[in-house]
Structure 1
């Protein structure tokens, strides 16, 4: 009786990332450089390290793979007298040589495969863009995969700096399953005259169009007695919360629409379509702006807004990003403006 063997599914590799050390003796290959911040099924980094012209009989040297996290919360050009605006943490460090599954070739070349599994929640990769021109180290959270060789002599470990390799890794926020996210709000206010009132109700929805996301803000205004609307404004706001600061959020306008001097009877219905953007926000006086930083958008070409980051835990390395639409209504002969806040989720 013959037993049929079940074919094991194999992961197909469509792209391979490569980086060599300064002296050219060590090369790192990785099939992927993106992992999920919360999904345990997508929390594994693997690769192959190739070392040339190394004495394999000498057991005093070892090879390590290390994943580190850096949070930079200030400009590098403003660091003075040893003060650094960054925190660093080693997420995972493991020895990959000497180990099993080592392949030696005839020309004294070592081929070392490794697999690194990450446990616990990670803060997503976030890039912050200052309002003034900046060319220093990236501001925000940065993950780096490092491979290096250490030698031990007389009980002292030495690091071979010319054989170090550093390769960036991106941690992504999982997308919200629902394609349309709805944020609703309403407000009811009494006016000075008897039985007079104003009621504003609005909602914000996300409409996906290929790679772009459009925010649809619609609602209605009810008022008695009838009054004229001096202005109706809708602002899209990005709020960034950096854990190292306790002074609140960095807020930036990422979209705007308005209408002025509108006459209506009893009920006025409005609707605005706004596309969030960051092209016109790099002017003096604005706060740091969270922009998308992925392996597919490196070098600042075609900058796009970062997606919402809601799962970040409150720790020294977390950065949260939230979006909301602010509806501002100003009625004739009413001193105060009426404001509604409509949160929404921006997926990337």
Structure 2
């Protein structure tokens, strides 16, 4: 809604803005900042362009009827290459903003699209969520089998694991079924099952995957050679304590007092390559590890799953 007496002979625009912070605010110095700003979509609202009218929604029509003739509806499109709204969790020692992706809608009055002044603009934070497609729920539940041999002992370890679904929600139990066959000459001492969040920043040439354990179950077992074992575990993906500082991404929130929620998995648009994503790429796995000792090594099996946006968010 605008005041034509204030606009006068100028124009009114609305923009969708993406701000990607790729470094800690407390590390900024000498005028250098770790923020990239992209203006994703711009629409001229006033004066209305000829033939530029777009179909309005029921909510927009209701607002126009209440606000009057100088209320103008608009539509902005999120680009397929931008990630959802993510923010890195702050630890006890962190200060200022950390790595994350934020969006805002900015409207301003100016002579053209580049004539932006703070006194003639207003901003509204928005949050981008990506709904998990229905086809993901119909995919088979993840399962896997791995056989590993070791240099310091004879034989091999066979590790099998499976989940009950391809998609889970934050704070939902994840049942994990694990089977181990010890065909080596060594005893198996430990069996570890954990939920791991993996994060990448694809736009960097030296992008590395960061692994952060969210929840771990350490099971002390005693498996002599030629023995087998089957166990069922229940894990719940939850936000870790602040002592686990760094590299844990949360879902972007509009209010500072909102309860923290784990960042959902990044779901690529069909035809988009992960290396072209602007922002952060998030994925999850359940990792099962069998330990034979410090000198022998481990047998590891990863089961990828999708963490969807919490229902009712």
Length-normalised TM-score, structure 2? 0.77
Q: 1:188 to 1:176 in 2, by over 3 A?
A: same
Q: 1:341 to 1:136 in 2, by over 3 A?
A: same
Q: Give the match for residue 203 of structure 1.
A: 162
Q: Give the match for residue 2 of structure 2.
A: 51
**1:170 correspondence with 2:127:** yes
Q: 1:5-16 counterparts in 2 under 5 A?
A: none
Secondary structure at 2:119 match in 1: helix
Secondary structure at 2:281 match in 1: strand
Q: Give the match for residue 28 of structure 2.
A: 79
Secondary structure at 1:314 match in 2: helix
Q: Using the TM superposition, give the Cα deviation of residue 207 of structure 1 relative to its aligned residue in structure 2, in angstroms.
A: 8.9
Structure having the higher helix fraction is: 2
Larger radius of gyration: 1
Q: Give the match for residue 13 of structure 2.
A: 64
**1:345 correspondence with 2:306:** yes
Secondary structure at 1:243 match in 2: coil
Question: Matches of 1:202 and 1:115 in 2, distance apart?
Answer: 50
Deviation track 1:117-156 (CA, whole Å, cap 9, x = no partner) reads 427413222112244544534631111100111158xxxx
Secondary structure at 2:30 match in 1: coil
Q: 1:325-340 counterparts in 2 under 5 A?
A: 325-331=286-292, 335-340=296-301
Secondary structure at 1:77 match in 2: helix
Count, aligned residues: 283
Deviation track 1:73-111 (CA, whole Å, cap 9, x = no partner) reads 11222211121101111111121111178xxxxxxx862
**1:283 correspondence with 2:243:** yes
Q: Give the match for residue 89 of structure 1.
A: 38
Deviation track 1:39-71 (CA, whole Å, cap 9, x = no partner) reads xxxxxxxxxxx2347257x4x211111111111
Q: 1:208 to 1:151 in 2, by over 3 A?
A: closer
**1:321 correspondence with 2:279:** no
Question: Matches of 1:143 and 1:333 in 2, distance apart?
Answer: 47
Q: CA RMSD in A?
A: 3.4
Q: Using the TM superposition, give the Cα deviation of residue 247 of structure 1 relative to its aligned residue in structure 2, in angstroms.
A: 4.3
Q: 1:141-220 counterparts in 2 under 5 A?
A: 141-151=101-111, 159-177=116-134, 178-179=136-137, 182-190=141-149, 196-206=155-165, 212-220=171-179
Secondary structure at 2:173 match in 1: strand
Q: 1:347 to 1:75 in 2, by over 3 A?
A: same
- Structure 1 residue runs without a partner (length 5+): 1-49, 102-108
Deviation track 1:312-342 (CA, whole Å, cap 9, x = no partner) reads 7433723110111211112479822211111
Question: Matches of 2:179 and 2:299 in 1, distance apart?
Answer: 13
Q: 1:166-315 counterparts in 2 under 5 A?
A: 166-177=123-134, 178-179=136-137, 182-190=141-149, 196-206=155-165, 212-224=171-183, 228-245=187-204, 246-263=206-223, 266-280=227-241, 282-283=242-243, 286-295=245-254, 298-311=255-268, 313-315=274-276
Deviation track 1:275-312 (CA, whole Å, cap 9, x = no partner) reads 112232x226x4321101244xx315321211111317
